[in-house]
Structure 1
Amino acid sequence: MSKELEKKLLGEERREWLLNYLKNSSGPVTGTALAKKTNVSRQVIVGDMTLLKARNEPIIATSQGYLYMRAGSQSLVERIIACQHDPSQAEQEMNIIVDHGVTVKNVIVEHPVYGDLTASIMVSNRKEVQAFLKSIRNTNASLLSELTSGLHLHILTAADEQMILNAKKALNKAGILAEEN
């Protein structure tokens, strides 16, 4: 990747640079790193990302940073699963899933006032699980599932259906998979 820019990029020029940078990145890039590279504040980057998303650019904010979702880069199977556990089992849950080669795309809970609340997770391996949980601990944030007595949904993605089925079997064996309707 290129190093920091020598001058401060303004408005549209900066957003185009950010978009190209994310498209060429192999993984998530933090807002702080993007701010340093473009000589602006992190808050400016957050605003830029909001504007790019409003243009339907497939950018998501993960716990590891911003990520450009490449359409059709590989065909992935996507399934929704229901889980229920206490917060102390979150690491076990995610490790079971990623150990089967499956990505935890997000978490969804049903709030009595706001309806469905969805948050991006995007973890695919134990290192990313650890980084996600460290971020939760360092910010004293709560898991969304704490709003719903541990009941929550995950969207999972994998290269094939069998990987997700194997992860579900392991979650069920661990007592984490909620009863399916």
Structure 2
Amino acid sequence: MEQQRKMPSAKRQQLIIQKLKESARPISGKDFAKLTNVSRQVIVQDVSILKAKNEPIIATSQGYIYLSEHLNNQKQQIIACKHDAGQTKEELYLIVDHGVTIRDVIVEHPVYGEITASIRVGSRKEADTFITKIQTTDASYLSALTNGIHLHTLESDSLLKIEAACRDLRKAGILV
């Protein structure tokens, strides 16, 4: 069987942009690596080069996404939360059940300053995937660095949905 040849970097980068623009879901570096017959690390480098060229690609816990124009119409609000790791699922569900996406998590580190991680959780399934990934990799939530205090950037097509999610978070004692 003949081995598939590696795709040239410029062509591979064009393919990454095209696939991300066409996809409604995140695409993992592993999937791109299989598609282009290179290592995942080569894909990480390609994405870094594309980002340096101002392509609006972000890495999430589910894979890479291309920030399309429709996201510009999204309403956003940053909220402050405090809870232990055991309440993470409740927090995420309370938000996504209102049709709101959790764009990121932000913590204020005493040495590094603000640390932001893109998580892009917009459904219970994505919340479950995120939590499972934390558990199976034995990673810690960023909020472990700040005694449970963290920020989230919330996105929705309606501020009313964000306000409803915040009401439920407040009732649960999660919203600061």
TM-score category by the smaller chain?
over 0.9
Gaps spanning 5+ residues in structure 2: where?
A: none
1:8 shift after superposition: 1.9
User: Which residue in 2 is equivalent to 1:165?
Assistant: 163
User: Which residue in 1 is equivalent to 2:64?
Assistant: 66
1:26-175 → structure 2 map (5 Å cutoff) = 26-72=24-70, 75-175=73-173
Name the CA shift for 1:49/1:149 in 2 (closer, same or farther; >3 Å).
Answer: same
Residue among 11, 25, 38 paired with 2:9: 11
Q: 15-24 vs 112-121, which deviates more?
A: 15-24
Q: Quick one: which amino acid aligns to residue 29 of structure 2?
A: G
CA RMSD in angstroms comes to 1.0
1:73 shift after superposition: 5.2
- Once residues 10 and 83 of structure 2 are traced to their aligned partners in structure 1, the CA distance between those partners, rounded to angstroms, is 45
Identical-residue share of aligned pairs (%): 51
Q: Quick one: which amino acid aligns to residue 87 of structure 1?
A: A
Name the CA shift for 1:154/1:44 in 2 (closer, same or farther; >3 Å).
Answer: same
Q: TM-score, normalised by structure 1?
A: 0.93
Q: Quick one: which amino acid aligns to residue 82 of structure 1?
A: A
Gaps spanning 5+ residues in structure 1: where?
A: 1-5
Q: Quick one: which amino acid aligns to residue 165 of structure 2?
A: A
Q: TM-score, normalised by structure 2?
A: 0.95
